[in-house]
Amino acid sequence: MKELISNAKQGLFGIFILSLSACTENPSPKADSLPAKTEMTHSDMVLRGKYMVNSLGCGDCHTPKHLKGMDMVPDSGRILSGHVSTEPLNPIDKKNLKSGNWILFSPDLTVTVGPWGISYSANLTPDSTTGLGNWTADQFLQTIRTGKHMGQPGGRDILPPMPVQDLAQLNDEDLKSIFTYLQSLPAVHNQVPAPVPPTALAN
Ligand code: HEC
């Protein structure tokens, strides 16, 4: 050990070894003397939630977009407000769906057609009747953790392509931050249609 220490004194490795040996000589500090984890404030949570929502790509499916050539430009007045209920959809060519050949997206990616039928991306803004305005943070966590619509036990499963299993990997603090950010958005009144079952698509 002495030899190691003298060699290491010249370098960073030495600092590491010295501090290791210091640790073994002195008892480690008591847990209660460690600095307390600071609670996030409301505005910290909004910022963290915004960062997560933007990097996890919630808007890819939940924000209506305008098509400009090859670009999809988010509709800034409708951020995260789900499929626009008044927007007409092109007829679905059911041939494409036979034997699960293809999954179809509407041009702005807010509607998806697949073996589960038609799913419409939800309104995540805090509108009290058509969005998450009346939801609690616990309900939001429950929804993501259980994959059940509105977090209701025994409720229907949330449909693809909502990546609910992936989002369930997030810890409670991150999910709460996401919810806090969503609740800080401007409320957009937009009643997204209920999903259509696959039987309604059968030829
Ligand atoms: C690939 C597309 C996609 C992405 C990305 C996505 N969602 Fe969804 N989401 C959907 C669809 C489609 C639905 C509607 C599913 C249904 O009706 O069962 C939905 C539904 C929801 C719902 C309502 C669930 C319920 O109770 O019915 C919440 C809340 C939600 N998404 C939050 C999020 C958040 C937060 C993110 C980002 C962290 C996100 N979603 C990312 C497609 C997506």
Under 8 Å between Cβ of 201 and 97: yes
**Percentage above 90 pLDDT, the chain:** 69
- Residue-averaged pLDDT of the chain: 86
- Confirm or reject: Cβ of 149 under 6 Å from ligand 1: yes
Under 8 Å between Cβ of 82 and 123: yes
- Confirm or reject: Cβ of 97 under 6 Å from ligand 1: no
Structure tokens, 139 = 């309900």
- Confirm or reject: Cβ of 118 under 6 Å from ligand 1: no
Least confident of 21-35, 101-115, 124-138: 21-35
Query: How many other CB atoms are there within 10 angstroms of residue 85's CB atom?
Result: 14
* Substitution candidate for ligand 1 out of 48, 52, 60, 62 with most atoms within 8 A of CB: 62
Least confident of 83-87, 90-94, 102-106, 152-156: 90-94
Contacts of 116 (CB under 8 A, 6+ apart): 159, 160, 195, 198
107 cis-preceded (ω within 30 degrees of 0):
no
For ligand 1, atom 43, name the residue with the nearest CA: 162
Length of the chain measured in residues: 203
More confident residue, 16 or 76: 76
- Confirm or reject: Cβ of 192 under 6 Å from ligand 1: no
Which amino acid is residue 175, in one-letter code?
Answer: L
CA of 132 to the centre of ligand 1 (A): 12
Contacts of 127 (CB under 8 A, 6+ apart): 81, 133, 187, 188, 189, 190
In the chain, the N- to C-terminal Cα span, in Å, equals: 79
Report which ligand 1 atom has the smallest distance to the Cα of 144. Answer: 29
Report which ligand 1 atom has the smallest distance to the Cα of 156. Answer: 18
- Give the per-residue pLDDT at 19: 43
**Percentage above 70 pLDDT, the chain:** 82
- pLDDT tens-digit series, residues 33-61: 667 778 899 999 999 999 999 999 999 99
- pLDDT tens-digit series, residues 59-84: 999 999 999 988 999 999 999 999 99
